[in-house]
Structure 1
Protein backbone atom coordinates (compact mmCIF):
# COMPACT_ATOMS: atom_id res chain seq x y z
CA UNK A 1 0.00 0.00 0.00
CA UNK A 2 1.19 3.51 -0.79
CA UNK A 3 1.03 5.48 2.47
CA UNK A 4 2.89 8.76 2.95
CA UNK A 5 3.79 10.17 6.37
CA UNK A 6 1.45 9.82 9.34
CA UNK A 7 -2.00 8.58 8.33
CA UNK A 8 -4.80 10.40 10.14
CA UNK A 9 -8.38 9.16 10.37
CA UNK A 10 -11.35 9.85 12.67
CA UNK A 11 -11.89 7.31 15.46
CA UNK A 12 -15.14 6.14 13.86
CA UNK A 13 -13.34 5.14 10.63
CA UNK A 14 -11.37 2.39 12.39
CA UNK A 15 -12.98 -0.42 10.38
CA UNK A 16 -12.84 1.36 7.01
CA UNK A 17 -10.43 0.60 4.18
CA UNK A 18 -7.87 3.43 4.30
CA UNK A 19 -6.94 4.42 0.76
CA UNK A 20 -4.42 7.16 0.02
CA UNK A 21 -5.53 9.40 -2.83
CA UNK A 22 -3.87 12.60 -1.62
CA UNK A 23 -1.18 13.49 0.89
CA UNK A 24 -0.88 16.75 2.76
CA UNK A 25 -3.24 19.73 2.75
CA UNK A 26 -4.11 22.22 0.02
CA UNK A 27 -4.57 25.02 2.58
CA UNK A 28 -1.62 24.46 4.91
CA UNK A 29 -2.08 27.84 6.64
CA UNK A 30 -3.92 27.12 9.91
CA UNK A 31 -1.80 28.57 12.69
CA UNK A 32 -2.40 25.74 15.15
CA UNK A 33 -1.85 22.79 12.79
CA UNK A 34 1.28 20.62 12.71
CA UNK A 35 -0.35 17.41 11.48
CA UNK A 36 1.42 17.37 8.12
CA UNK A 37 4.73 18.89 9.17
CA UNK A 38 6.52 15.59 8.49
CA UNK A 39 5.87 15.84 4.74
CA UNK A 40 8.44 17.43 2.38
CA UNK A 41 5.60 19.02 0.37
CA UNK A 42 2.31 20.79 1.10
CA UNK A 43 -0.03 18.68 -1.04
CA UNK A 44 0.20 15.88 -3.55
CA UNK A 45 -2.32 13.83 -5.55
CA UNK A 46 -1.69 10.11 -5.82
CA UNK A 47 -1.27 8.76 -9.37
CA UNK A 48 -4.27 6.72 -10.46
CA UNK A 49 -2.00 3.73 -11.09
CA UNK A 50 -0.92 3.80 -7.41
CA UNK A 51 -4.55 3.99 -6.29
CA UNK A 52 -5.49 1.07 -8.57
CA UNK A 53 -2.53 -0.98 -7.30
CA UNK A 54 -3.52 -0.34 -3.67
CA UNK A 55 -7.13 -1.35 -4.34
CA UNK A 56 -5.91 -4.56 -5.99
CA UNK A 57 -3.59 -5.34 -3.05
CA UNK A 58 -6.32 -4.65 -0.49
CA UNK A 59 -8.89 -6.67 -2.44
CA UNK A 60 -6.59 -9.69 -2.58
CA UNK A 61 -5.91 -9.41 1.14
CA UNK A 62 -9.61 -9.25 2.03
CA UNK A 63 -10.42 -12.18 -0.28
CA UNK A 64 -7.98 -14.27 1.77
CA UNK A 65 -10.04 -13.42 4.84
CA UNK A 66 -12.95 -15.62 3.86
CA UNK A 67 -16.35 -14.26 4.83
CA UNK A 68 -15.02 -10.76 5.55
CA UNK A 69 -16.53 -7.95 3.48
CA UNK A 70 -15.48 -4.33 3.51
CA UNK A 71 -18.32 -1.89 2.90
CA UNK A 72 -16.69 1.50 3.54
CA UNK A 73 -13.59 3.26 2.25
CA UNK A 74 -12.01 6.32 3.87
CA UNK A 75 -9.77 8.35 1.57
CA UNK A 76 -6.71 9.60 3.43
CA UNK A 77 -5.07 13.02 3.31
CA UNK A 78 -6.13 16.31 4.88
CA UNK A 79 -8.80 17.11 2.28
CA UNK A 80 -9.22 14.62 -0.60
CA UNK A 81 -12.64 16.11 -1.31
CA UNK A 82 -10.78 19.00 -2.96
CA UNK A 83 -10.22 16.76 -6.00
CA UNK A 84 -12.31 17.49 -9.07
CA UNK A 85 -15.61 15.66 -9.29
CA UNK A 86 -14.54 13.63 -12.31
CA UNK A 87 -11.42 12.37 -10.52
CA UNK A 88 -13.40 11.50 -7.37
CA UNK A 89 -15.88 9.61 -9.56
CA UNK A 90 -13.05 7.75 -11.27
CA UNK A 91 -11.63 6.78 -7.87
CA UNK A 92 -15.10 5.55 -6.80
CA UNK A 93 -15.30 3.41 -9.95
CA UNK A 94 -11.89 1.88 -9.21
CA UNK A 95 -12.96 1.10 -5.63
CA UNK A 96 -16.16 -0.59 -6.78
CA UNK A 97 -14.28 -2.64 -9.38
CA UNK A 98 -12.12 -4.08 -6.61
CA UNK A 99 -14.83 -4.18 -3.96
CA UNK A 100 -18.29 -4.66 -5.53
CA UNK A 101 -19.80 -4.74 -2.05
CA UNK A 102 -18.52 -1.24 -1.21
CA UNK A 103 -21.39 0.96 0.00
CA UNK A 104 -19.92 4.35 0.93
CA UNK A 105 -16.77 6.44 0.57
CA UNK A 106 -15.76 9.11 3.06
CA UNK A 107 -12.88 11.52 3.57
CA UNK A 108 -11.78 14.63 5.38
CA UNK A 109 -13.02 17.79 3.67
CA UNK A 110 -12.59 21.53 4.01
CA UNK A 111 -15.53 23.90 3.68
CA UNK A 112 -13.77 25.38 0.65
CA UNK A 113 -13.69 21.96 -1.06
CA UNK A 114 -17.49 21.96 -1.20
CA UNK A 115 -17.73 25.46 -2.65
CA UNK A 116 -15.79 24.46 -5.79
CA UNK A 117 -18.45 21.89 -6.75
CA UNK A 118 -21.84 22.60 -8.32
CA UNK A 119 -25.05 21.23 -6.88
CA UNK A 120 -25.20 18.76 -9.78
CA UNK A 121 -21.66 17.59 -9.04
CA UNK A 122 -22.46 17.06 -5.36
CA UNK A 123 -25.54 15.02 -6.31
CA UNK A 124 -23.40 12.98 -8.71
CA UNK A 125 -20.80 12.31 -6.02
CA UNK A 126 -23.53 11.13 -3.65
CA UNK A 127 -24.73 8.76 -6.37
CA UNK A 128 -21.14 7.54 -6.79
CA UNK A 129 -21.08 6.59 -3.09
CA UNK A 130 -19.59 9.63 -1.35
CA UNK A 131 -21.25 9.93 2.03
CA UNK A 132 -20.08 10.63 5.57
CA UNK A 133 -17.50 13.40 5.15
CA UNK A 134 -15.56 14.63 8.16
CA UNK A 135 -15.22 18.42 8.20
CA UNK A 136 -12.95 20.22 10.64
CA UNK A 137 -15.00 23.39 10.99
CA UNK A 138 -13.14 24.02 14.31
CA UNK A 139 -15.55 26.80 15.32
CA UNK A 140 -18.14 29.28 14.03
CA UNK A 141 -16.42 32.15 15.87
CA UNK A 142 -15.50 34.46 12.98
CA UNK A 143 -12.82 36.27 14.98
CA UNK A 144 -11.07 32.99 15.71
CA UNK A 145 -11.49 31.73 12.13
CA UNK A 146 -9.85 34.90 10.81
CA UNK A 147 -7.02 34.83 13.33
CA UNK A 148 -6.24 31.17 12.69
CA UNK A 149 -6.29 31.60 8.89
CA UNK A 150 -8.94 28.92 8.32
CA UNK A 151 -9.92 30.44 4.99
CA UNK A 152 -13.69 30.62 5.56
CA UNK A 153 -16.21 32.13 7.97
CA UNK A 154 -19.33 30.93 9.77
CA UNK A 155 -21.59 32.00 6.90
CA UNK A 156 -19.61 29.71 4.59
CA UNK A 157 -20.15 26.75 6.95
CA UNK A 158 -23.88 27.38 6.83
CA UNK A 159 -24.02 27.79 3.07
CA UNK A 160 -21.80 24.88 2.04
CA UNK A 161 -23.05 22.32 4.55
CA UNK A 162 -26.61 23.30 3.66
CA UNK A 163 -25.69 22.29 0.10
CA UNK A 164 -24.43 18.93 1.39
CA UNK A 165 -27.75 18.47 3.21
CA UNK A 166 -29.66 19.10 -0.01
CA UNK A 167 -27.40 16.69 -1.93
CA UNK A 168 -28.00 13.97 0.66
CA UNK A 169 -24.32 13.76 1.64
CA UNK A 170 -24.02 13.18 5.37
CA UNK A 171 -21.18 14.76 7.33
CA UNK A 172 -19.62 15.06 10.77
CA UNK A 173 -17.95 18.11 12.32
CA UNK A 174 -14.75 18.41 14.30
CA UNK A 175 -14.83 21.23 16.87
CA UNK A 176 -11.54 22.52 18.27
CA UNK A 177 -11.99 23.38 21.94
CA UNK A 178 -9.83 26.34 22.87
CA UNK A 179 -9.53 27.90 19.40
CA UNK A 180 -11.10 31.18 20.53
CA UNK A 181 -8.45 31.76 23.17
CA UNK A 182 -8.49 32.65 26.87
CA UNK A 183 -11.71 34.25 28.03
CA UNK A 184 -13.56 33.69 24.75
CA UNK A 185 -14.22 29.95 24.71
CA UNK A 186 -17.81 29.97 25.89
CA UNK A 187 -18.76 32.74 23.44
CA UNK A 188 -17.15 30.71 20.64
CA UNK A 189 -19.06 27.62 21.75
CA UNK A 190 -22.37 29.49 21.67
CA UNK A 191 -21.64 30.82 18.18
CA UNK A 192 -20.77 27.31 17.01
CA UNK A 193 -23.90 25.78 18.56
CA UNK A 194 -26.03 28.42 16.80
CA UNK A 195 -24.58 27.49 13.41
CA UNK A 196 -24.61 23.72 13.97
CA UNK A 197 -28.22 23.87 15.12
CA UNK A 198 -29.21 25.08 11.63
CA UNK A 199 -27.54 22.10 9.97
CA UNK A 200 -27.63 18.30 10.15
CA UNK A 201 -24.25 16.92 11.26
CA UNK A 202 -24.54 13.26 12.22
CA UNK A 203 -21.78 13.73 14.79
CA UNK A 204 -19.95 16.62 16.41
CA UNK A 205 -16.56 15.57 17.69
CA UNK A 206 -14.66 17.81 20.10
CA UNK A 207 -10.88 17.88 20.16
CA UNK A 208 -8.84 19.88 22.68
CA UNK A 209 -6.39 22.51 21.47
CA UNK A 210 -2.85 21.21 21.99
CA UNK A 211 -0.14 23.69 21.02
CA UNK A 212 3.25 22.53 19.77
CA UNK A 213 6.44 24.65 19.52
CA UNK A 214 6.69 24.16 15.74
CA UNK A 215 3.27 25.75 15.15
CA UNK A 216 2.73 29.33 14.05
CA UNK A 217 0.29 29.69 16.96
CA UNK A 218 3.12 29.02 19.42
CA UNK A 219 4.99 31.98 17.92
CA UNK A 220 1.86 34.14 18.28
CA UNK A 221 1.76 33.24 21.99
CA UNK A 222 5.45 34.14 22.38
CA UNK A 223 4.70 37.55 20.81
CA UNK A 224 1.80 38.09 23.20
CA UNK A 225 -0.76 38.14 20.37
CA UNK A 226 -2.85 35.24 21.69
CA UNK A 227 -3.38 33.49 25.04
CA UNK A 228 -4.37 29.87 25.60
CA UNK A 229 -7.39 28.89 27.66
CA UNK A 230 -6.80 27.03 30.88
CA UNK A 231 -7.70 23.33 30.78
CA UNK A 232 -10.67 23.95 33.08
CA UNK A 233 -11.89 26.70 30.74
CA UNK A 234 -11.80 24.22 27.89
CA UNK A 235 -14.18 21.88 29.74
CA UNK A 236 -16.49 24.80 30.51
CA UNK A 237 -16.43 25.56 26.79
CA UNK A 238 -17.38 21.98 25.92
CA UNK A 239 -20.19 22.18 28.45
CA UNK A 240 -21.50 25.37 26.84
CA UNK A 241 -21.44 23.74 23.41
CA UNK A 242 -23.37 20.68 24.63
CA UNK A 243 -25.89 22.83 26.50
CA UNK A 244 -26.66 24.98 23.45
CA UNK A 245 -26.87 22.38 20.66
CA UNK A 246 -30.51 22.10 19.57
CA UNK A 247 -30.38 19.30 17.01
CA UNK A 248 -30.41 15.51 17.22
CA UNK A 249 -26.79 14.43 16.81
CA UNK A 250 -24.05 12.38 18.41
CA UNK A 251 -21.60 14.35 20.53
CA UNK A 252 -18.22 12.74 21.02
CA UNK A 253 -14.77 13.49 22.41
CA UNK A 254 -12.77 10.41 21.46
CA UNK A 255 -9.37 11.63 20.22
CA UNK A 256 -6.09 11.53 22.12
CA UNK A 257 -6.29 15.27 22.82
CA UNK A 258 -9.16 14.65 25.28
CA UNK A 259 -8.17 13.73 28.84
CA UNK A 260 -11.68 12.35 29.32
CA UNK A 261 -13.35 10.58 26.44
CA UNK A 262 -17.10 10.63 26.00
CA UNK A 263 -19.85 9.86 23.52
CA UNK A 264 -23.56 10.50 23.86
CA UNK A 265 -26.70 11.12 21.82
CA UNK A 266 -28.28 14.55 21.93
CA UNK A 267 -30.75 15.58 23.11
CA UNK A 268 -31.46 12.26 24.84
CA UNK A 269 -28.27 12.12 26.91
CA UNK A 270 -27.70 15.84 27.36
CA UNK A 271 -28.17 15.98 31.13
CA UNK A 272 -26.02 12.91 31.69
CA UNK A 273 -23.25 14.52 29.64
CA UNK A 274 -23.61 17.87 31.42
CA UNK A 275 -23.40 16.13 34.80
CA UNK A 276 -20.20 14.37 33.73
CA UNK A 277 -18.66 17.64 32.54
CA UNK A 278 -19.68 19.36 35.78
CA UNK A 279 -17.90 16.59 37.68
CA UNK A 280 -14.70 17.16 35.69
CA UNK A 281 -14.89 20.95 36.13
CA UNK A 282 -15.57 20.75 39.86
CA UNK A 283 -13.40 17.81 40.89
CA UNK A 284 -10.43 17.52 38.54
CA UNK A 285 -7.84 20.18 39.16
CA UNK A 286 -6.15 22.40 36.59
CA UNK A 287 -2.76 20.88 37.45
CA UNK A 288 -3.93 17.35 36.66
CA UNK A 289 -5.55 18.41 33.40
CA UNK A 290 -2.43 20.38 32.41
CA UNK A 291 -0.22 17.36 33.11
CA UNK A 292 -2.32 15.38 30.67
CA UNK A 293 -2.06 18.14 28.03
CA UNK A 294 1.72 18.20 28.38
CA UNK A 295 1.84 14.40 28.03
CA UNK A 296 0.29 14.56 24.55
CA UNK A 297 3.58 14.72 22.66
CA UNK A 298 1.93 14.14 19.28
CA UNK A 299 -1.70 13.93 18.21
Structure 2
Protein backbone atom coordinates (compact mmCIF):
# COMPACT_ATOMS: atom_id res chain seq x y z
CA UNK A 1 0.00 0.00 0.00
CA UNK A 2 1.13 3.54 -0.57
CA UNK A 3 0.08 6.49 1.58
CA UNK A 4 1.48 10.02 1.35
CA UNK A 5 4.95 8.99 0.26
CA UNK A 6 5.42 6.05 2.66
CA UNK A 7 7.34 2.96 1.62
CA UNK A 8 5.38 0.81 -0.80
CA UNK A 9 5.46 -2.83 0.33
CA UNK A 10 3.89 -5.46 -1.88
CA UNK A 11 5.29 -8.83 -0.82
CA UNK A 12 6.18 -10.44 2.49
CA UNK A 13 9.81 -10.67 1.38
CA UNK A 14 9.84 -6.92 0.70
CA UNK A 15 8.37 -6.27 4.15
CA UNK A 16 11.12 -8.32 5.82
CA UNK A 17 13.77 -6.51 3.75
CA UNK A 18 12.37 -3.06 4.57
CA UNK A 19 12.24 -3.81 8.31
CA UNK A 20 15.79 -5.16 8.21
CA UNK A 21 16.93 -1.92 6.56
CA UNK A 22 15.12 0.14 9.18
CA UNK A 23 16.84 -1.76 11.98
CA UNK A 24 20.29 -1.66 10.35
CA UNK A 25 19.91 2.12 10.02
CA UNK A 26 19.43 2.29 13.80
CA UNK A 27 15.79 3.30 13.55
CA UNK A 28 13.03 2.00 15.80
CA UNK A 29 10.58 -0.44 14.25
CA UNK A 30 7.03 -0.34 15.59
CA UNK A 31 4.03 -2.01 13.95
CA UNK A 32 0.47 -0.83 13.40
CA UNK A 33 -1.86 -3.68 12.51
CA UNK A 34 -5.60 -4.18 12.07
CA UNK A 35 -7.84 -7.02 13.07
CA UNK A 36 -10.54 -7.78 10.55
CA UNK A 37 -8.55 -7.10 7.38
CA UNK A 38 -8.76 -10.72 6.23
CA UNK A 39 -12.56 -10.62 6.27
CA UNK A 40 -15.17 -12.73 7.99
CA UNK A 41 -14.10 -16.26 8.85
CA UNK A 42 -10.38 -15.68 8.29
CA UNK A 43 -9.37 -14.00 11.54
CA UNK A 44 -7.60 -16.94 13.15
CA UNK A 45 -5.49 -17.55 10.06
CA UNK A 46 -4.66 -13.84 9.92
CA UNK A 47 -3.79 -13.73 13.64
CA UNK A 48 -1.42 -16.70 13.35
CA UNK A 49 0.33 -15.32 10.25
CA UNK A 50 0.56 -11.83 11.78
CA UNK A 51 2.06 -13.27 14.97
CA UNK A 52 4.55 -15.28 12.88
CA UNK A 53 5.59 -12.08 11.09
CA UNK A 54 5.83 -10.02 14.29
CA UNK A 55 7.73 -12.77 16.11
CA UNK A 56 10.27 -12.79 13.28
CA UNK A 57 10.60 -9.00 12.95
CA UNK A 58 10.43 -8.16 16.69
CA UNK A 59 8.87 -4.69 16.79
CA UNK A 60 9.23 -2.63 19.95
CA UNK A 61 5.53 -1.66 19.99
CA UNK A 62 2.42 -3.08 18.34
CA UNK A 63 -0.70 -0.96 17.97
CA UNK A 64 -3.71 -3.05 16.95
CA UNK A 65 -7.08 -1.63 16.01
CA UNK A 66 -10.17 -2.96 14.29
CA UNK A 67 -10.61 -2.23 10.63
CA UNK A 68 -13.10 0.49 9.84
CA UNK A 69 -14.18 1.12 6.28
CA UNK A 70 -15.35 4.54 5.23
CA UNK A 71 -17.89 4.54 2.42
CA UNK A 72 -15.34 6.20 0.12
CA UNK A 73 -12.80 3.37 0.53
CA UNK A 74 -12.47 1.00 -2.45
CA UNK A 75 -12.94 -2.01 -0.14
CA UNK A 76 -16.27 -0.56 1.02
CA UNK A 77 -17.48 -0.78 -2.58
CA UNK A 78 -16.45 -4.45 -2.56
CA UNK A 79 -18.69 -4.97 0.48
CA UNK A 80 -21.64 -3.30 -1.25
CA UNK A 81 -21.04 -5.42 -4.36
CA UNK A 82 -20.87 -8.60 -2.27
CA UNK A 83 -17.20 -9.28 -3.02
CA UNK A 84 -15.95 -8.90 0.57
CA UNK A 85 -17.62 -9.83 3.86
CA UNK A 86 -16.07 -7.89 6.74
CA UNK A 87 -15.43 -9.45 10.12
CA UNK A 88 -17.68 -8.20 12.89
CA UNK A 89 -16.34 -6.93 16.21
CA UNK A 90 -16.80 -10.29 17.94
CA UNK A 91 -14.64 -11.91 15.26
CA UNK A 92 -12.11 -9.08 15.70
CA UNK A 93 -11.93 -9.73 19.44
CA UNK A 94 -11.44 -13.45 18.82
CA UNK A 95 -8.72 -12.65 16.29
CA UNK A 96 -7.00 -10.42 18.83
CA UNK A 97 -7.14 -13.22 21.43
CA UNK A 98 -5.49 -15.61 18.97
CA UNK A 99 -2.83 -13.01 18.18
CA UNK A 100 -2.05 -12.51 21.89
CA UNK A 101 -1.76 -16.28 22.34
CA UNK A 102 0.79 -16.55 19.53
CA UNK A 103 2.98 -13.47 20.09
CA UNK A 104 6.45 -14.40 21.41
CA UNK A 105 8.41 -11.12 21.49
CA UNK A 106 10.02 -10.40 24.86
CA UNK A 107 9.61 -6.78 25.92
CA UNK A 108 6.96 -6.08 23.27
CA UNK A 109 4.60 -3.26 24.28
CA UNK A 110 1.09 -4.03 23.01
CA UNK A 111 -1.91 -1.71 22.70
CA UNK A 112 -5.11 -3.01 21.14
CA UNK A 113 -8.40 -1.18 20.83
CA UNK A 114 -11.82 -1.60 19.26
CA UNK A 115 -13.88 1.55 18.86
CA UNK A 116 -17.22 -0.13 18.14
CA UNK A 117 -17.26 -2.04 21.43
CA UNK A 118 -15.24 0.53 23.40
CA UNK A 119 -12.61 -2.00 24.40
CA UNK A 120 -8.89 -1.56 24.94
CA UNK A 121 -6.14 -3.87 26.19
CA UNK A 122 -2.53 -2.91 26.92
CA UNK A 123 0.49 -4.64 28.31
CA UNK A 124 4.04 -5.90 27.88
CA UNK A 125 5.08 -9.38 26.76
CA UNK A 126 5.50 -11.86 28.24
CA UNK A 127 4.60 -10.70 31.75
CA UNK A 128 1.15 -9.24 30.92
CA UNK A 129 0.00 -11.92 28.45
CA UNK A 130 -2.39 -13.70 30.83
CA UNK A 131 -3.88 -10.44 32.10
CA UNK A 132 -4.49 -9.26 28.52
CA UNK A 133 -5.97 -12.63 27.51
CA UNK A 134 -8.39 -12.56 30.46
CA UNK A 135 -9.51 -9.06 29.52
CA UNK A 136 -10.10 -10.04 25.87
CA UNK A 137 -11.94 -13.21 26.94
CA UNK A 138 -14.24 -11.11 29.13
CA UNK A 139 -14.98 -8.81 26.19
CA UNK A 140 -15.68 -11.81 23.95
CA UNK A 141 -18.16 -13.28 26.46
CA UNK A 142 -19.85 -9.90 26.92
CA UNK A 143 -20.25 -9.41 23.18
CA UNK A 144 -21.34 -12.96 22.28
CA UNK A 145 -24.86 -12.01 23.27
CA UNK A 146 -24.99 -9.11 20.82
CA UNK A 147 -25.93 -9.36 17.16
CA UNK A 148 -23.47 -8.78 14.33
CA UNK A 149 -21.91 -5.33 14.62
CA UNK A 150 -22.04 -2.77 11.87
CA UNK A 151 -18.82 -1.99 10.06
Residue 170 (1) aligns with residue 28 (2): yes
- Aligned twin of 2:122: 263
Q: Secondary structure at the match of 1:219?
A: helix
Residue 143 of structure 2: which of 275, 284, 294 is its match?
284
Distance 1:239 1:287, change over 3 A: same
Distance 1:193 1:226, change over 3 A: same
Kindly indicate whether the alpha-carbon contact (under 8 Å) linking 1:209 and 1:257 is maintained by their aligned counterparts in 2: no
- Aligned twin of 2:51: 193
Report which structure shows greater RCO (CA 8 Å, sep ≥6): 2
Cα distance in 2 between the residues matched to 1:234 and 1:255: 8
Alignment of 1:148-297 (within 5 A): 151-248=9-106, 249-254=108-113, 256=115, 259-285=118-144, 287=146, 290=149
Cα distance in 1 between the residues matched to 2:79 and 2:145: 20
| Pairs aligned (count) | 150
Kindly indicate whether the alpha-carbon contact (under 8 Å) linking 2:30 and 2:60 is maintained by their aligned counterparts in 1: yes
- Please list every run of 5 or more consecutive structure 2 residues that lacks an aligned counterpart in the other structure: none
CA RMSD of aligned residues (A): 2.3
TM-score (norm 2): 0.87
Kindly indicate whether the alpha-carbon contact (under 8 Å) linking 1:210 and 1:257 is maintained by their aligned counterparts in 2: no
Kindly indicate whether the alpha-carbon contact (under 8 Å) linking 2:121 and 2:135 is maintained by their aligned counterparts in 1: no
Distance 1:259 1:202, change over 3 A: same
Bigger Cα Rg: 1
